[in-house]
Amino acid sequence: MKFRRLAEYFEKIEKTASRLSMTEILAKMLKEAQADEVDQMVYLALGMLRPKYEGIEFNLAEKMMIRVLSTAYGVELKKVEQEFKKVGDLGEIVGGMRPLKSDKDNQSLNGIHHSEIGKDMSVGEVYNRLFEIAVDEGQGSQDRKVQNMARLLKDLDLLGAKFAVRIPVNKLRLGFSNMTVLDALSWMERGDKSLRVDLERAFNVSADIGRIATIFKKEGLKGIGGVKVKIGVPIRAAQAERLPSAEKIVDKLEIFAVEGKWDGLRVQIHFDKGRSRTAATQEALFSSGGKSFVRIFSRNLDNITNMFPEISQAVEQLAVNSIILDGEAVGYDAKTGKLLPFQETIQRKRKHGVGSMSETVPIKVFVYDILALNGENLITKPFRERRKLLEKILHSGGVLQLADQEIVSEAKRLTELRQHYLDLGLEGVMCKKLTTAYQAGSRNFNWVKFKKSAGGELMDTIDAVVMGYYQGKGKRSGFGMGAFLVGVTDEKNCVGSIAKIGTGLTDEQWRELVVKCKKLETKEKPAEYLVDKNLECDVWVKPEIVVEIMADEITVSPIHAFGLALRFPRLINFREDKGVSEATGKKELERLFKLQKTA
């Protein structure tokens, strides 16, 4: 497919408000694509070049893209800046930046050829040039990125340039996610969403949406049914449901395993002794530093391997050829051995100063599941069998520690265990069915969390998305923020408000929130935000900050987006380990609302 044609599809999607219509357009685009280019088209449509876990980033901020436009079209830098401030969208100002010239004037400028029509480049050609720009690094790379991006824009027509500009700065604005792509693949084949379950199952065990699209395009449903766990490709994490009491949990699960619930960083560890770390292609950008292949993935599929060298070293010492482990990394005090709170553990999630931070905040990984071993896929095996295999490989002590476990069938003992773990500083317990497979990417009653239950509080916290903030008064005028608005997501990827929070933060938390918000400010309210006119923020921010919120209860609300609101909400933590896709959803909020009535 020509990139011009792809840009036409993007424009149709951008102008479409209906989720169903958007899915149908995307399905037509995918049907028209060739099998060897469909992955590139999917990645570009999602505003990226490779799966999230490979960590390929453009490192082209808006300021640099302004330089690109100035260089490409021979327009003064100041003028580009003025237009951007006025319009707020670099893609939209491309047409105004590109002067219509006669053939005589259509000459080379700064070594870049001007063409109004643009070269008839394929999707693959544009993709490859964007990829070369993204991976360019080292001395002089910033200037080369600007020059090469400018050349690409001049080789594209206006519509193509409009979308090519948006991709590197993460502003494609098409408004759909991986799940919409899965719906579109089903629609492409069947004209409805009936294949979504099969496609999502494959994506859950192999979280590379481009790979799923390619397999489905080439091999259809049979190929998708054959997608297996693969070392180096993250499996979407299983998630837990909630029940209001120990008695309800026993009624639901009958006999089950009880483990601690740590407040740390979810980590999925992949190891292959026979696969050299240099054998990986783009994945080699994140090396473990060892001889064998090691990858560590976060809850939201970030590659965090180089942030935890001690985990890589520990897994290389295991007496296995290959393995995938699921667990929780928690910081601890080296002198006392006491586990640290989440906000101290999260300091380990950084790209620089890893060595010194690993000494300041050492970590333990409490491993509670095994998903693959020596080439065998284990996720379909019952939890009881997976646990037995895990017990043969891991023991207490060291960086990788086998999570303590007890089999329970009585509410009294469950309550005692929860209190035991709370006394140790944990959040509570996880209750797990012994007979079920690992439900990748699913939230169901195979796992049930049973956390601290204090009087006048919800039975669990809510992970909400920061949507914007209100200017402060009095003391808070010094922070520049007096309150902030949070919301949860729905099935259409919209974010609906659930609470305005103005109390309960320390001065340090206010300052931290202001810093985070300043980096994400946007001129207009994002199109996916659902906010009543009476709650309009003074400043809107892009939906990227996830915060953990506790409240007294969930109440019916005539003003908040989904008819529900939090009563007396307060900030607990900044959840830097979670993306918006891992935040609490509308359906989950509704379930919590129902649960509090039965508690």
For residue 355 the two structure tokens come to 């060595």
The secondary element (H helix, E strand) that includes residue 210 is: helix 209-225
What are the backbone angles phi and psi of residue 564, rounded to the nearest 5°?
A: -130, 150
Of 28, 66, 318, nearest to 191 by C-alpha is 28
Residue whose entry in the numeric block shows the structure tokens 């007890």 = 406
Contact 527, 19 (CB under 8 A): no
Gap between the Cα atoms of 120 and 125, Å rounded: 10
Phi and psi torsions of 168, nearest 5°? -65, -25
Count of helix runs (H) and strand runs (E) in the chain: 20, 21
Q: Any catalytic annotation for residue 452?
A: no
How many Cβ atoms from other residues are within 10 Å of residue 524's Cβ? Answer: 9
Asked if 331 contacts 264 with a C-beta cutoff of 8 angstroms, the reply is: yes
Angle separating helix axes 196-205 and 209-225, nearest 10 degrees? 120
Catalytic residue among 145, 217, 261, 578: 261
Strands 564-567 and 553-556 come out as antiparallel
User: How many C-beta atoms surround the C-beta of residue 27 within 10 A?
Assistant: 20
553-556/529-530 β-pairing? unpaired
Of 530, 533, 463, which is closest to residue 493 (Cα–Cα)? 530
For 221, the enclosing helix (H) or strand (E) is: helix 209-225
Catalytic residues: 261
